[in-house]
Structures are given as C-alpha cells and as structure tokens.
Amino acid sequence: MRRLDLTSAGFLLMEKRETPMHVGGINLFSYPEGVNEQEFIASAMDQLQGCSELRKPFGDYVVTGKTGLFWATDQHIDMDYHVRHSALPAPGRYRELFALASRLHTTLLDRTRPLWELHVIEGLQNRQFAVYNKIHHAAIDGVGAMHITQGMCTDDPTAMTGFAPFSLEAYEAYKARYVSRPKPVKTPDKRTLRNVLEALKQQYDSSLHLATAMRRFGMAFVGRGGNLAVPWHNVPRTSINTRVSGARRFVAQTFAFDRVKAVCKAMDGTVNDVVLAMCAGALRRYLLSRDELPVHSLKAMAPVSLRNEDDLDSTNAVGFITADLATNVYDPEKRLRTIQESMRAGKELLQELSAAEAALFMQLTQLPALLTSILGLGAKLPAFSTVVSNVPGPRKPLYWNGARLDGIYPASIVFDGFAMNITLVSYHDQLDFGIVACRRSMPQIQRIIDHLEDALQELEDVAGISGPQRRSSDRRSGVRARKPAETSPASASRAGAAPPAKKAPAKKKAPARKKAVAKTKAKAKAKTSTAKTGANPKAKTPAKGRRKKAPAAAKARRKTGTTVKPKLSNS
C-alpha cells in the first residue's frame, strides 16, 4: 500500500454528497473519413474495456489505515463498470451533450473501486462523438490529465493505438517518447562527503525561505504586502460564495488562440493575464446584471503547476496564486494592469522557493481552507471568490485511431464558498473553456459564455485590434464557427426576437426654395391669427388632447438608437 500525500488526502477529506471532488471533462472527436460509425464505436469500446493492467493509481482504490489514507490494488477490477457506452437523444446537439455531462459530473465516484469512469458518447451531429472522463482529484491534477490525453493520442492521423489511455502499456510508451533518458549516476567517493554539509546548509536555507515567504504572506493581511493578494483578505460575498447543492451545470466554448495572442502582443501581457482579464470582465458583467457587484474586487484562485518537467508519476503537484480580478475597476486596461501586478507579486513569492519548499508552503497555506471546508464554514468564510485555472495542453492537432481530436473541454470541482469554477485548456490553435457551477446557486451560468466574448471584444477595442485579426466568427461552440449575431429561426423564436420590420418608403424631399416659401407663408398666417384673437403664441395648449411627454429613459433610447438585447439561447 502507498500513503496519499496531504494534498491528495485533502480532496478526499473535503468530499461529501454536495461537493464531489472529481475532475474530468469532454474530449470531442470527429470520425475518420469513410468509417462506419457503429463499427468504430464498437471497436473503441472493445479496446477500452479489454485493458488488463492499469497504471497507478487507476488500478487502486482508497483504504483508511491507522495513520492515514492509502492506495490499495484492486485485484478484481470490473472494466465494464468503469468504461460505459452512452448515446445522446435527437437531435444530438452540444446542448444535449452538455446536459448529459452535467448529470454525469453530479454523481459521486464509488470509493470501493478505483476512482475513475470513462463514457464513450455517440449520437452527435456532424459525424462527431465524445469521450467524457471523470477522475477523482486525489488521483490526478490538470497537468497529469493532459499527459494522459497525449498518451492516448498521436499526431499521426494514420497511426492506430492498441491500448487504453489508463493502461500501463500506454504509460510506458508515452514515457519512453516524452521523458529524456536519465544521465548515469556516479558512485560517490570520500570527496563527496562535503555534500552532507551542503545538504545541511540547504535545509537551513529552506527554513529561512519558508519563514520569509510566510512572513510576506502574513503581512498582506495587514495591508503591507504590496500588490500581493492572499486568501480571505477583502474577499466579498456574492451569490458565487454560498453553500452548494450536489447538482451541477456544465457549459463549454472555444475561442481562437490568435485573438488572445493579439491582445497579449498589443498590451504586453501573458496569455494567463488576458484570460484572467476576460474572466474578470465576464464576472463583472454577470454581477452587474444581478445588481450585486461588490465594492471590493473578486479574488480568484489561480492554480500553478509545481510538477517537474519529467514528472509523470505524481498524482498532485499543484499550488496556487491569488489573483486580484479588479472587478471593481471600470476601465478594462486598468483592470488588466491590476491583474498583472497581483500575478507578478504571487509569482515572485513562489520563485524564491524550490519545488519542495513551494509544495510545503502550499500545504501550510491550504490547511485553513481544508479546515473551514471540513467544519462547514466555507460559505461563511470564503477564501476566494472563484477558481480560474489555465492548463497548458498539446500544441499540435492530435488523433485517436484516426479520429481527429476537435476540442478538450475540462470540468472541475466546486464546493461550499466556490459555486463556480472556470477551467480552460490551450489546445493547438484554440482555447477551450469548461465552466462548472452549482445548478441551484447559479442557474444562468450559460450567460458567462457570452460575457467572456464581450470581455474579449472590450480588450480588443482597448488594444486597437480590428480587421482580419478580430473576427466574431472566431468564437466557436465545439469546432463549428458561428457568428454571435447569426441565429437560426428556431433559436430566434426561443430568444424572443421579433422579425425585422419592413422599412416604409422614404418621403421625397421638397426643394429648398419651396420650403422657404412655405415657411414664410406659415409665419404670416400665424401673425394674422394672433392679431385677430389676441392670443399669446407662447401660451401652453390645453391639457385635453395634448400628447404626453415620453419618459427620459425612452428619450435617451431614441437618441442613442439602443434597444433591449434579446437573450441568447444555449444551442
């Protein structure tokens, strides 16, 4: 048996019926050209269920010992239970796919078995199918999940893999081509005894570095941390920070990577900075629509990987930086700069630590969050407002047995105090967003997708990006491009959009000379009428029959030409 580390054990300790602690998502594929869809799915199911030896910990389940939690090997694993076949109801849109993923992501994993499930889903339109995977966070983190995806696929569209993604065979094959050959270790001699002194010095330096980091972390709570944002400090209460139910809602969207990179280049920022600014703008719009934008800015937990480049075995090697989203700032450029400053301060804090020191620092700073969650105080004392996680994915297009991988849409966790989680994966030339929220606390989570598009366009306006670099069709649902303004007749009726009215024929303009003559005659007639009756031309007309004045808001709408925007359907 193998002991679980503190971070992995924490995800198991925090889990209850209302807060499942598994991660996963949807991998969207297109069938190879010319294949029979039913035969391809049947072959894929045989391959996935025929795996006999699994890599750790996918062949293990969790047992409780006297000194903690341990992984124990399952000697009688039931692959038919873990690998399942599903089909979508007609018409097989992304809406039906996301509805199924929402239900699958709601249920807990069985702790008497290895903590994972794989669902092959057919019935999608446009010759596509999906694979939904669900793995407990105690067994994997985001970077580890990307390693499994890359081990399952290849960049050769003609290559055929004969192993399952969680198999030991797939792990060994991927490790052989990913990890460089280790250098031979020299046998130590007497002269290397000085390494003992160096080790003692390193231990002393580690203690000093940790003490310095903890001191800077603590000073931020009293306003002396500079731009460093920390958990619990000035975290506002919104509808996002509440108790959650067990039901989940999942939505996803793809954005063109080129659009984000263009903003990065124009505004001298990183991809993560711009992504956080997009999320900040979307959350600001969402809270304004609910009339609950707080005075203090929202704070986001931004996970960072602490995994070494060649590390394929760690279940969890992840830390976090607290990002100030500056949602209380109106100016989008100033909002982006505030986000950059807080992220820079968080990175500087971690860069002073080694990987081992950073892991220990994260465990120390995460303990209060673990305790508040176990004690049921997460909603009353939220450490963050939300989670925004950016996971680097494959930079080349991938294929699984000839099927093209069209998108990787992650689905993460929410729990008390964090009713929404935004996770994205950078894959090839796109950014794939997956948003998970508590179905009861945030029933209109699909609006975040449109707010993300609005926030990105706002950043493009500030950066001065237009023309071919900025195309509204670059926002995609799955892999199909669609312009936000274009809707089908069915979606238009659902959104309550009225058909465009026919324009009345324009009146012919009278010549200028005729207008002047008519105006002079009208003035002369008015003077004659006044002289006869003695009426005051400036006197008010009687109330009877007088036209009522339009309200100020209506006047403003007529003046600016704005109209009420219809709600967009989640199709």
Whether 370 is in a domain gets the answer yes
* Amino acid 547: pLDDT: 41
Specify whether 137 is catalytic.
Answer: yes
CB-CB contact of 231 with 365 (8 Å): yes
**Sheet containing 68-73: which strands, arranged edge to edge?**
2-3, 68-73, 60-65
| Residue 532 domain flag | no
Contact (CB, 8 A) for 302 and 388: yes
**Is 311 contained in some domain?**
yes
pLDDT number for residue 517: 47
| Whether 339 and 473 share a structural domain | yes
All residues at 6 or more sequence positions from 349 whose CB lies less than 8 Å from its CB, including other chains: 213, 216, 217, 228
| CA pair distance 155, 404, nearest whole angstrom | 9
Same-domain status, 137 and 262: no
Within a domain: 18: yes
CA 496 to chain centre: 29
Whether 503 is in a domain gets the answer no
Which helix (DSSP H) or strand (DSSP E) does residue 61 occupy? strand 60-65
In the prediction, which pLDDT does 405 show? 97
Supply the pLDDT for residue 72: 94
The H or E element spanning position 6 is helix 6-13
Helix (H) or strand (E) holding 27: strand 22-30
Nearest to 476 by CA among 507, 433, 522, 436: 433
What sign has the CA pseudo-torsion 330, 331, 337, 343?
positive
For residue 147, give the nearest of 398, 340, 322 by alpha carbon.
Answer: 398
pLDDT score for 429: 94
**Residue located via tokens 């989203």:** 325
Contact 281, 455 (CB under 8 A): yes
Which of these, 347, 300, 305, 7, lies nearest to 142 by C-alpha position? 305
174 shares a domain with 206: no
- CATH code for the domain in which residue 80 is found: 3.30.559.10
Same domain, 139 and 28: yes
Q: Among 488, 514, 533, where does a domain finish? A: 488
The helix/strand count (H/E) of the chain reads as 15, 17
pLDDT at site 269? 92
Per-position b or e across 96-113, b if 16+ CB within 10 A of its CB:
bbbbbbbebbeebbeeeb
* pLDDT value of residue 222: 46
Distances, alpha carbon 276 to alpha carbons 57, 191, 318, 335, 422, in Å: 33, 51, 18, 10, 10
Handedness of CA 444, 274, 342, 351 (dihedral sign): positive
Q: Distance between CA 547 and CA 176 in Å, rounded?
A: 83
Helix or strand or coil: residue 567? Answer: coil
pLDDT of residue 317: 62
Domain membership flag for residue 404: no
Instruction: Judge contact between 98 and 40, C-beta under 8 A.
Output: no
Residue 330 lies in a domain: yes
- Given the residues 137, 147, 209, 296, select the one marked as catalytic: 137
Among 488, 515, 534, the domain-final residue is: 488
SS3 assignment, position 438: strand
| pTM for the structure as a whole | 0.74
pLDDT at residue 554, rounded to an integer: 42
Sign of CA dihedral 542, 544, 546, 548: positive
Do 236 and 97 reside in the same domain of the chain?
A: no
How many domains are there within the chain? 2
Burial of 16 by CB count in 10 Å (0-12 exposed, 13-18 middle, 19+ buried)? middle
CA atoms 471, 477, 479, 480: torsion sign: negative
Tens digit of pLDDT per residue, the chain (571 long)?
888 887 788 889 889 999 999 999 999 999 999 999 999 999 999 999 988 789 889 999 999 988 889 999 998 899 999 999 999 999 999 999 999 999 999 999 999 999 999 999 999 999 999 999 999 999 988 888 888 888 889 999 999 887 888 888 888 888 887 665 454 444 444 444 444 444 434 443 444 444 555 555 455 544 555 556 656 677 788 888 888 999 999 999 999 999 999 999 999 999 999 999 999 999 999 999 999 999 999 998 887 766 666 666 666 666 678 889 999 999 999 999 999 998 888 777 667 666 666 666 565 666 666 666 666 666 677 778 899 999 989 999 999 999 999 999 999 999 888 899 999 999 999 999 999 999 998 888 999 999 999 999 999 999 998 755 555 444 444 433 333 333 333 333 333 333 444 444 444 444 444 454 455 555 555 544 444 444 444 444 344 444 444 445 444 444 444 333 333 334 3
Residues 13 and 54 placed together within one structural domain of the fold: yes
How does DSSP assign 142-185, residue by residue? HHHHHHHHHHH-BS-TT----S-TTBHHHHHHHHHHHSPPPPPP
Q: How far is CA 265 from the centre of its chain?
A: 22
Residue range(s) defining the domain that contains residue 40: 2-178
| Tokens linked to 288 | 């304004």
Helix extents (H) in 179-325: 194-219, 257-267, 271-289
In 3D space, the residue among 121, 159, 115, 151 whose CA is nearest the CA of residue 45 turns out to be: 121
Q: Which residues pair with 547 in a beta bridge?
A: none
As a whole number of angstroms, the distance between CA 401 and CA 174 comes to: 16
Same domain, 466 and 380: yes
Same domain, 97 and 212: no
Are residues 433 and 322 part of one domain?
Answer: yes
Distance in angstroms (rounded) separating the CA atoms of residues 361 and 351 = 12
| One domain, residues 426 and 468 | yes
Domain co-membership, 44 together with 142: yes
- Which CATH number fits the domain that encloses residue 226? 3.30.559.30
| β strands within 403-510, DSSP E | 403-411, 420-427, 430-438, 475-477, 480-481
| Same-domain status, 165 and 205 | no
The secondary structure element, H or E, covering residue 448 is helix 447-463
Determine contact, residues 277/336, Cβ cutoff 8 Å: yes
CB 98 within 8 A of CB 132: no
Q: Could you tell me if residue 310 is inside a domain?
A: yes
End-of-domain residue from the set 423, 455, 488: 488
